[in-house]
Amino acid sequence: MSTLASLMKDEKKVGLVVLIIAALLPLVIRNSYILHLIILIMVWTVLGASWNLLGGYTGQVSFGHAAFFGVGAYTACLLHVKAGVSLWLGFIAAGVAGALISIPIGAICLRLRGPYFALSVLALAEVLRLIILHWKSFTEGAVGILLITPVISSRTGYYYLVLGIALLTLLTVSYILRRRMGYFFRAVREDEDAAEALGIFSTRYKLIALIISAFFTGVMGCFFANYTNYIDPYIVFSIGDVSIAMVLIVVLGGIGTFWGPVVGSVIVVLLSEGFRNYFAAASLLVYGALIILVIMFLPRGIVGSIQTRRSA
Amino acid sequence: MDLSILIQTIVSGILVGGLYALIAVGMTLIFGVMRIINLAHGEFLMVGMYTCFWLFKLWGVDPYLSIIISIPVLFLLGMLFQRFVIQPVIKANAPGENQILLTAGIGLVLANLALLLFSPNYYTVTTGYSTATVHLANISISLPLLWDFLISFGITGLLYLFIMKTDVGSSIRAVAQNPDAALLMGINTDRITVITFAIGCALVGAAGSLFMPIFYVFPAIGEIFTLKAFIVVVLGGMGSALGALVGGLTLGVVESIGAAYISMGLKDGLGFAIFVLVLIFKPSGLVGKTRF
């Protein structure tokens, strides 16, 4: 128990130092490419952390989180383009939309376990993509939506915005994990039947984890739309570039560990930028190879392996 | 006139469904024996399709003749992946999600290697009989599709005989029923899983060759067929070969009707919708749990 407490203290200290450095970074770094990379790392940290809450801590591996990312992005953009709603409000709307769409998806898929759950979410994400692709009168279909006036125009602005979202996500996750609910999540992951026997409504807690996870994924969808100015169904509902990439980041960093998504996104963003010049369109090759290597040699991910070594 | 369109639609759906069944039988076999969902299944199909394409392009090998080569090529590929990548992970007693992710990773690597080597272009083989049709009353049937259907059934039948009548086949069934008991009876379960995975891949190798005369190949095609195979397997019931047949034909007909009467672009959505409905209302599949 004392080691756990000291670890928590460690994590707090580490977190505070990282935060201070992060807040001061744009004053030092004037290179906008490097700033862009750090923004990407934080985008993936948020996505990884929200996936991890469901996949890592509650044990429900989803292959279709692009559903919430895409719905968030489209909600914010359509509200803005069709109804003139401010994109700042869009961030909240995107999160709420992601959370709302996760309820029927969860009601259908969470009754299933393991790979059935993973792939049925993927199937529903594809259904959503097809609907948005073909409902041209409302969503512009494959043409996509161009945001002429995104919320911010400066890179430093985006930096602080994503830093804020990342902070909010990580604090929320860490808060939940320290509450009763967080322990229920982990109980469901360890043994669903045993958790049920102890009076935990496993389906309810899986659904709560999914809703929170979908909320932050949706918010990130809105950030992504603003940051890139443009979305289309292939980009925001992509299986490889969104759904699988989220899984990869968490598996690489350490599934079910708090810092896993942070470490995972640093490595994945830097590596895929590094290899982009060599493989161009085939940059997912690096993802695939990484998944295989990590699972073969570091089955608990980087943070997970360090933690087991430390506790051993 | 309307009725003949409906019959036409159903017939071509059944023919395509036969090919879906051939792909799904491999996936269901692998699942039945190893409890692993092979998410690289479609990518192995893609390798089979490229094998067929390059044999045709470089040496003018007839797509149907290329089956003789694509089967052993995919058998070997499956053997290597199972022996050196998948088996070590299973033996390390990794959590279930790692095994799903592992095959997804293999799929990503294969798809992107193909992208790197062969460019994202669509390739097809054009043979004298690619567009040939036979007419039966008011219905016209694509000749290569008819051949594909018959050969698929032939291969599935041969597989059935192999599983039921040979020693290796009964070992495979034993491992599927209970790996520990099979091991105690002196069956080399490691060897059996390698053989099973290789057979599963060889089946999609054959399917790849059969697909080429009527379809086209590009690096990202695997993803689509992995999903279709999984849908078929779930429709029929995980681990059931008969289920894969029923599921394949069902998906073929549903897609065909969807494409003809609703919209070409939404036919895949219809497949997903049925998949989700089956998962909710009849999770054991249309045929139920019967293992070979």
In sequence order, the 6+-apart residues with CB closer than 8 A to the CB of B117 are none
> Residue B89 and residue A116: Cβ atoms within 8 Å?
no
> Residue B88 and residue A289: Cβ atoms within 8 Å?
no
Chain B CB contacts of A108 under 8 Å are 276, 279-280
> Residue A292 and residue B100: Cβ atoms within 8 Å?
no
pTM of the model: 0.84
Chain A contact for B179 (CB, 8 A cutoff)? no
pLDDT class for B112, splitting at 50, 70, 90? confident
Check residue A16 and give its pLDDT. Answer: 82
Strand spans (E) along A138-259: 145-146, 230-231
Mean predicted lDDT score pLDDT of chain B: 85
Check residue B240 and give its pLDDT. Answer: 77
Check residue B77 and give its pLDDT. Answer: 94
Chain A CB contacts of B275 under 8 Å are 120, 123
Q: How many CB atoms lie within 10 A of CB B239?
A: 22
Considering only residues 49 to 88 of chain A, which have any Cβ-Cβ distance to chain B shorter than 8 Å?
55, 61, 63
CA dihedral in degrees (A222, A227, A231, A233; nearest 10)? -60
Give the gap in angstroms from C-alpha B259 to the nearest C-alpha of chain A.
14
Chain A contact for B27 (CB, 8 A cutoff)? no
Q: How many CB atoms lie within 10 A of CB A199?
A: 7
Alpha carbons B35 and A113: distance in angstroms, whole number: 14
Question: For B41-64, how does the pLDDT look when each residue is reduced to its tens digit (9 = 90+)?
Answer: 999 999 999 999 999 888 888 888
> Residue A288 and residue B108: Cβ atoms within 8 Å?
yes
> Residue B108 and residue A61: Cβ atoms within 8 Å?
no
Chain A contact for B218 (CB, 8 A cutoff)? no
| Low-confidence stretches of chain A (pLDDT beneath 50) | 1-2
> Residue A288 and residue B107: Cβ atoms within 8 Å?
yes
Asked if the model's pLDDT at residue B88 lies above 90, the reply is: no
Q: CA angle, B109 as apex, B87 and B63 as ends, to 5°?
A: 95
Q: Which two tokens stand for residue A85?
A: 């709603």
Domains observed in chain A: 31-311 (1.10.3470)
Element (H, E) at B139: strand B139-142
First-to-final CA distance of chain A: 15
pLDDT class for B71, splitting at 50, 70, 90? very high
Give the gap in angstroms from C-alpha A44 to the nearest C-alpha of chain B.
19
In sequence order, the 6+-apart residues with CB closer than 8 A to the CB of A204 are none
Chain A contact for B232 (CB, 8 A cutoff)? no
Chain B CB contacts of A55 under 8 Å are 97
pLDDT class for B291, splitting at 50, 70, 90? very low
Q: Report helix, strand or coil for B122.
A: coil
Question: For B166-208, how does the pLDDT look when each residue is reduced to its tens digit (9 = 90+)?
Answer: 999 889 888 888 888 888 888 888 899 999 999 999 999 999 8
Q: Residue type for A221, please?
A: G
Check residue A165 and give its pLDDT. Answer: 94
Chain B CB contacts of A126 under 8 Å are 227, 268-269, 272
Q: Which two tokens stand for residue B21?
A: 């069944």
Region B131-147: mean pLDDT is 80
Chain A CB contacts of B102 under 8 Å are 291-292, 295-296
Name the residue among A50, A32, A26, A35 with its Cα closest to residue A221. Answer: A50
Which of B109, B223, B265 comes nearest A239 by C-beta?
Answer: B223
Mutation for testing the B interface, residue in A112, A285, A298 having most B CBs under 10 Å: A285
Rounded to 10 deg, the angle between the B221-236 and B2-34 helix axes is 90
Alpha carbons B7 and B162: distance in angstroms, whole number: 35
Name the residue among B104, B27, B95 with its Cα closest to residue A243. Answer: B104
> Residue A281 and residue B120: Cβ atoms within 8 Å?
yes
> Residue B265 and residue A239: Cβ atoms within 8 Å?
no
Question: For B211-252, how does the pLDDT look when each residue is reduced to its tens digit (9 = 90+)?
Answer: 888 888 888 888 888 888 888 888 887 777 788 888 899 899
Chain B CB contacts of A296 under 8 Å are 85, 88-89, 102
Chain B contact for A244 (CB, 8 A cutoff)? yes
Q: What is the count of residue pairs from A and B with beta carbons less than 8 Å apart?
A: 120
> Residue B108 and residue A122: Cβ atoms within 8 Å?
no
pLDDT class for B292, splitting at 50, 70, 90? very low
For residue B223, the chain A residue with the least C-alpha distance is: A239
Q: Residue type for A168, please?
A: L
For residue B123, what is the DSSP state?
B
For residue A142, the chain B residue with the least C-alpha distance is: B265
Q: Which two tokens stand for residue A240?
A: 């490889």
For residue A241, what is the DSSP state?
I
> Residue A108 and residue B280: Cβ atoms within 8 Å?
yes
Q: What are phi and psi of B284, to 5 degrees?
A: -80, 0
Check residue A201 and give its pLDDT. Answer: 87
Check residue A1 and give its pLDDT. Answer: 43
> Residue A108 and residue B234: Cβ atoms within 8 Å?
no
Chain B CB contacts of A233 under 8 Å are none
Check residue A98 and give its pLDDT. Answer: 95
Domains observed in chain B: 2-122+131-281 (1.10.3470)
Give the gap in angstroms from C-alpha B159 to the nearest C-alpha of chain A.
26
For residue B137, what is the DSSP state?
T
For residue A301, the chain B residue with the least C-alpha distance is: B98
Chain A contact for B279 (CB, 8 A cutoff)? yes
The secondary structure of chain A in percent helix, strand, coil, rounded to multiples of 5, reads 85, 0, 15
For residue A287, what is the DSSP state?
H
Alpha carbons A1 and B287: distance in angstroms, whole number: 52
